[in-house]
Amino acid sequence: MQTKSLHIFDYLVFLVYFVIVAGYGYYIYRKKKKATTDSKDFFLAEGSLTWWAIGASLIASNISAEQFIGMSGNGFNIGLAISTYEWMAAATLIVVAVFFLPIYLKNKIYTMPQFLERRYNQTVSTIMAVFWLLLYVVVNLTSILYLGALAVSTISGINFYACMVALAFFAILITLGGMKVIGYTDVIQVFFLILGGLATTYLALQLVSEHFGTTGVLKGFSLMTQHASEHFHMILHKENPKYLDLPGLSVLVGGMWIVNLNYWGCNQYITQRALGADLKTARSGLLFAGFLKLLMPVIVVLPGIAAYVLYSQNHGDFAQSMMKGGSLNADNAYPVLLNLLPIGLKGLAFAALTAAVVASLAGKANSISTIFSLDIYKKIYNKEADEKKIVGVGRTVVVVTMIIAIVISNFLGIDKKGGFQFIQEYTGFVSPGVFAMFALGFFWKRTTSSAAMFAMIGGLLLSFFLKFMPAWINLEPLNQIGFAALNPDSGLWEMAFIDRMGLVFVICVIGMVIITLSDKSSANNPKGLAIDSSMFKPNTGFVVGALLIIGILIALYTVFW
């Protein structure tokens, strides 16, 4: 097995990647220098991003170390079922493109707190802005930076903290150029991400083939399905030890929709890419992202399953390399595979991983900067601030939040829970109430601010209550209907966090309806949005593409049920 270091040719490949991204970013920055003083252009790249730039930027910002490292680790532990996060996202992007985007664009919404202020009131908007900032900084940005540095350090042998600082610095360089620079450099990031990711998948499948005395990636895939057949089921039974992570049919008809609709439709980090474009361009961008989503499990999940097969077959010293601190660490799967790549390809895969991390860091930092600058600084601290001042504050926020992420990253226990699950579960405390606020705010004119406050605060408190409830109440009876499973770590019967999200969402919606109907003045709510059916009619090309994605998803779930 190769050592955890990069050859001079690997560094040269990585240098080419760095020069291309940095050089192209600087070119876009100089070409569109208005972004330095225009806040809408800086934060949204208003009217500048093409459909392919929007789609690529969505994927580059979404796919990061938690997918490459965390999802590959879940592929090792759980199998193909973890792909539901990617494949269901493809369906969700269609829903968001058809129903959510027209509402945002017609009402000239540029930030999520802005939507909440217009639809409800300033109090709801400000509280939610603070929630989002805390979530983005403490959970998302910090996790991406920590996992990215861990992976880069494992592959290259470079000091962990040096990697963390270098990734943050690279991301800051891109972010300071504004959303236009982020959007167009993300096209290059996605190219490296996919090319390097496919190279790693190719190697992993070849290693499986060679271990069994044959060659070819298709043969390798066939051997994986034979020797790890339990890893190729999309729907887990409640007897599966990983049922709490992916609770059966809930990934198709339950809480997984809350996860995805909130992430792709009510998330500044994601929707920001499309809010500066016209409806047709934005929809095409989301459709393109949907097709790319179908490809992601090939890049991030199959290598994890291949690593499991090699580990279970005691391939070389693969088993030893998977251990960390004397125990098996599934999150080592992807870095271990990358260390097996030949010279040159290892540099390409290293660039792909770096591209994924840097693009996500830049996108997240830009969203944090946008919310703070437009929804807190401008509205609360300095209502008279001009465009140049707002952009300056936004840039300062980018640097400060990166420093905060570096400082706190080692104290959150990200490595103990597993990066991907860490982000999903802790985001899930906020998601149900937020999505209930948005969903009823979109489509029911009567919904009141009091109802929104109930969903926001009540949803959060209820999520925490259900999380810790198993310590006081035995949930074993719920196992009969698939709503609880035994957690081998705690020894308690617990509700899967995806089911917990679904339950909290339903309770929030019911509570919002009751609160709204009890307010007689809600019948003439002036805050209701103007909606007509013509807004939601997509063009023929979009419909064809959407039907193709749905057909592919049906086929995938049928084959790997």
CATH code, 371: 1.20.1730.10
For residue 477, tell me if it sits in a domain. yes
Q: How far is CA 297 from the centre of its chain?
A: 14
- How far is 274 from 280, CA to CA, in rounded Å? 10
**What pLDDT shows up at residue 511?**
95
Max CA separation in the chain (angstroms): 75
Same domain, 458 and 474: yes
The boundaries of the domain holding residue 115 are 8-427+531-559
- How far is 403 from 409, CA to CA, in rounded Å? 10
Same domain, 328 and 455: no
**What pLDDT shows up at residue 508?**
95
In the 8-state DSSP scheme, what is residue 137?
I
- Number of C-beta neighbours around residue 493 at 10 A: 18
Same domain, 269 and 313: yes
Domain count of the fold of the chain: 2
- How far is 186 from 359, CA to CA, in rounded Å? 6
Q: Which of 483, 474, 425, 488 is nearest to 242 (CA)?
A: 488
For residue 103, tell me if it sits in a domain. yes
Same domain, 321 and 468: no
- How far is 213 from 234, CA to CA, in rounded Å? 29
Q: Which of 33, 23, 386, 373 is nearest to 177 (CA)?
A: 33
Phi, psi for 153 (deg, rounded to 5): -65, -40
Q: What is the pTM of this model?
A: 0.83
Same domain, 470 and 339: no
Same domain, 346 and 211: yes
Q: Which of 431, 514, 12 is nearest to 256 (CA)?
A: 431
Same domain, 453 and 370: no
- Single-letter code of the amino acid located at 520: K
In the 8-state DSSP scheme, what is residue 301?
T
- How far is 546 from 285, CA to CA, in rounded Å? 12
Phi, psi for 151 (deg, rounded to 5): -70, -45
For 375-394, b where at least 16 C-beta lie within 10 A, e where not — what string?
A: bbbbbeeeeebeeebbbebb
Task: Provide the CB-side half-sphere exposure for 325 (13 A, CA).
Answer: 6
- How far is 304 from 298, CA to CA, in rounded Å? 10
Mean pLDDT by 10 residues, the chain (561 residues): 66 81 71 54 58 80 74 87 92 93 83 84 86 82 82 79 87 71 68 79 88 86 90 86 83 87 81 75 91 91 90 73 68 77 77 77 82 82 77 85 84 58 73 91 90 92 87 77 74 83 93 93 79 84 94 94 88
Q: Tokens 């796919």: give the residue.
A: 63
**What pLDDT shows up at residue 192?**
74
Q: Do 228 and 234 meet the contact criterion of CB atoms below 8 Å apart? A: no
- For 248: left if phi > 0, alpha if psi spans -120 to 50, otherwise beta; the answer is left
Phi, psi for 266 (deg, rounded to 5): -130, 30
**What pLDDT shows up at residue 468?**
84
62: tokens are 């979404």
Q: Do 278 and 106 meet the contact criterion of CB atoms below 8 Å apart? A: no
- How far is 558 from 561, CA to CA, in rounded Å? 5
Same domain, 538 and 503: no
**DSSP states along 46-115:** TTT--HHHHHHHHHHHH-SHIIIIIIHHHHHHT-GGGGHHHHHHHHHHHHIIIIIHHHHHHTT--SHHHH
Same domain, 166 and 249: yes
**What pLDDT shows up at residue 197?**
80
For residue 68, tell me if it sits in a domain. yes
Q: Do 511 and 454 meet the contact criterion of CB atoms below 8 Å apart? A: yes
